Amino acid sequence: MFANEEIGIDLGTANILIYSKSKGMLLNEPSVVAYNTDTKSVIAVGEEAKQMVGKTPRNVIPVRPLKDGVIADFDMTTQMLKILLKKAGKSSGLSIRKPTVVVCTPSGSTSVERRAIENAVKSYGAKQVHLIEEPIAAAIGADLPVDEPVANVIVDIGGGTSEVAIISFGGVVSSNSVRSGGDMIDEEIATYVRKHYNILIGVRTAEMIKMEIGYAPVEHEEKTMDVRGRDMVTGLPKTIQLSSTEVQEALREILSQLLETIRTTLESCPPELSGDIVDRGIVLTGGGSLLNGLQEWLSNEIVVPVHMAPNPLESVAIGTGRSLKMIKKLQKANR
Ligand SMILES: Nc1ncnc2c1ncn2[C@@H]1O[C@H](COP(=O)(O)OP(=O)(O)O)[C@@H](O)[C@H]1O
Ligand SMILES: [Mg+2]
> Using one digit for the tens of pLDDT, what is the confidence trace for 201-224?
999 999 999 999 999 999 999 999
pLDDT of 161 > 70? The answer is: yes
Task: Answer whether 13 contacts ligand 1 (Cβ < 6 A).
Answer: yes
Tell me, in angstroms, the distance from the centre of ligand 1 to residue 286's CA: 6
Residue 246: CB atoms within 10 A of its CB come to 19
Pick among 3.30.420.40, 3.40.50.1820, 1.10.240.10, 3.40.50.720: CATH of 149-179+254-313 = 3.30.420.40
pLDDT of 3 > 60? The answer is: no
CA separation, residue 27 to residues 15, 81, 136, 210, 277 (Å)? 10, 11, 21, 24, 34
Q: How would residue 180 be classed by pLDDT, with cut points 50, 70 and 90?
A: confident
Identify which has the larger pLDDT, 185 or 180: 185
Q: How would residue 315 be classed by pLDDT, with cut points 50, 70 and 90?
A: very high
Backbone angles phi, psi at 44, to 5 degrees: -155, 155
> Whats the size of the chain, residue-wise?
335
Nearest CA to ligand 1 atom 17: 286
Q: Is 111 buried (19+), middle (13-18) or exposed (0-12) by CB count in 10 A?
A: exposed
Q: How would residue 1 be classed by pLDDT, with cut points 50, 70 and 90?
A: very low
Nearest to 69 by CA among 275, 242, 286: 286
Q: How would residue 317 be classed by pLDDT, with cut points 50, 70 and 90?
A: very high
CA separation, residue 69 to residues 158, 161, 180, 217 (Å)? 9, 6, 11, 26
Look at residue 255 in the predicted model and tell me its pLDDT. 96
Q: How would residue 140 be classed by pLDDT, with cut points 50, 70 and 90?
A: very high
Task: Answer whether 135 contacts ligand 1 (Cβ < 6 A).
Answer: no
- Around ion ligand 2, which residues have CB less than 5 A away? 12, 158, 316
Pick among 3.40.50.720, 2.70.70.10, 3.30.390.10, 3.90.640.10: CATH of 182-250 = 3.90.640.10
Pick among 3.50.50.60, 3.30.420.40, 3.30.1370.100, 3.30.300.130: CATH of 6-137+317-333 = 3.30.420.40
Look at residue 69 in the predicted model and tell me its pLDDT. 63
Span 91-120, mean pLDDT? 80
Task: Answer whether 69 contacts ligand 1 (Cβ < 6 A).
Answer: no
> Using one digit for the tens of pLDDT, what is the confidence trace for 42-69?
999 999 999 888 888 888 888 898 876 6
Look at residue 260 in the predicted model and tell me its pLDDT. 96
Look at residue 335 in the predicted model and tell me its pLDDT. 59
Tell me, in angstroms, the distance from the centre of ligand 1 to residue 216's CA: 15
pLDDT of 139 > 90? The answer is: yes
Residues in CB range of 291: below 8 A, 6 or more apart: 157, 185, 210, 214, 215, 216, 251
Domain extent listing, the chain: 6-137+317-333, 149-179+254-313, 182-250
Does 6-137+317-333 match 182-250 in CATH topology? no
Tell me, in angstroms, the distance from the centre of ligand 2 to residue 158's CA: 5
Look at residue 96 in the predicted model and tell me its pLDDT. 58
Q: Can you say whether residue 198 is alpha, beta or left, with left for phi > 0 and alpha for psi between -120 and 50 degrees?
A: left
